[in-house]
Amino acid sequence: MGSSASAMHSDIVCLTKVLATRFPVTRALVEDDVFRGMVQAFIALSPPRSPVTLTYGDDFGDFIDTFPLVLPVPYLGDMARLEAARTRAHYAADASPLTVRELAAFAPHSWEQCLAVLHPSVQVVRSTYPIVTIWETYVAKPQGKFDNSRPEDALIARPDLVVEIHRLPPGGAVFIQHLMNNSVFRDAADKAAVADPRFDLVTSLSVLLSHHLIIGLNLCANQ
């Protein structure tokens, strides 16, 4: 009995370290005892399904949304989702972006009928809070000040060796999410414009191209 309890305690300690490592900014945003209690409750509810714990905690953000002690930090769940996406991007498959010559092979008028193949690491996290600013603030200067009154959507990707986090322009998250769900450019742009009238196709497309996140284009003649 004692051996079993000791093993369980050891597992909890180990998993607490795993989650603290994966969610450093989430941890920094609350008191140590709040984070510890939150993690222990999460472990009890959602123990690992695999001995490989590199991506354990993918649903930690959703759990945080239900945890009463974090009410003073309403963006904590979104921050955990951003940090979980960052880990997924880190372990995603490598892929080479389209070259300038390959992109130029598509006539400008044909782009609207193309399906984009995005880099496997691409992740989008939407928030009604400035999660990119908060993340940048805590990475650069823990306990720094920020204005949490404006929404931000995050693009997380690893086009090369390092995971990058970028602030998306208005409508950009909807545009990219629809591309990821196999919408052609025209349809994805239309849906983004409906979601946010400030959407600008050139701006959002430039984000994908400048960060080398388009790895394929497939022309859909039936669109």
- In tens digits, the chain (223 residues) has pLDDT values of 445 545 555 678 889 999 999 999 999 999 999 999 999 999 999 988 877 778 899 999 999 999 988 878 999 999 999 999 999 999 999 999 999 889 888 877 788 899 999 999 999 999 999 999 999 988 876 666 677 778 999 999 999 999 999 999 999 999 999 999 999 999 999 999 999 999 999 999 999 999 999 999 998 865 4
For residue 138, give the 3-state DSSP assignment: helix
Same domain, 107 and 167: yes
Query: Which long-range contacts does 114-117 make (Cβ < 8 Å, 24+ apart)?
Result: 114/184, 114/185, 114/217, 114/218, 114/219, 114/220, 115/179, 115/182, 115/183, 115/184, 115/217, 115/218, 115/220, 116/179, 116/185, 116/208, 116/214, 116/216, 116/217, 117/214, 117/215, 117/216, 117/217, 117/218
Domain identity same for 78 and 98: no
Distance CA 136, CA 146 (A): 10
108 and 82, same domain (yes or no) = no
Provide the sign of the torsion angle of the four alpha carbons 190, 93, 138, 84, taken in this order. positive
Domain's final residue, options 41, 67, 91: 91
Whether residues 103 and 202 share a domain: the answer is yes
In this structure, are 163 and 201 located in the same domain? yes
* Residue 156 φ then ψ, to 5°: -120, 130
